[in-house]
Structure 1
């Protein structure tokens, strides 16, 4: 989603081979809706927890 090519991703993530990057991209594109839904749900849960945490910090210094 950041616009990087597979080659750029492999260069940035040195622990992955180019074949692994292509495999991951293939999996993502084959399961895009499910993965995007999971990521959105995780982001929402994170934001809710962060809000609770910072609210508690303000009320319990």
Structure 2
């Protein structure tokens, strides 16, 4: 089960990757950033399922 600090890190990184995807001019780079964002989102969701809680990570 991820700690609170780990979950916050995943939330931060997911947001960063989405922002980088938005700024990346080529489609291959965007795809890589969006894939990483999805991986972080999955880690967040798995942590929420284990904790039975909801972290707000989509408001950025």
> What TM-score, normalized by structure 2, do the two folds share?
0.44
Q: Which protein is bigger by CA-based radius of gyration? A: 1
> What TM-score, normalized by structure 1, do the two folds share?
0.43
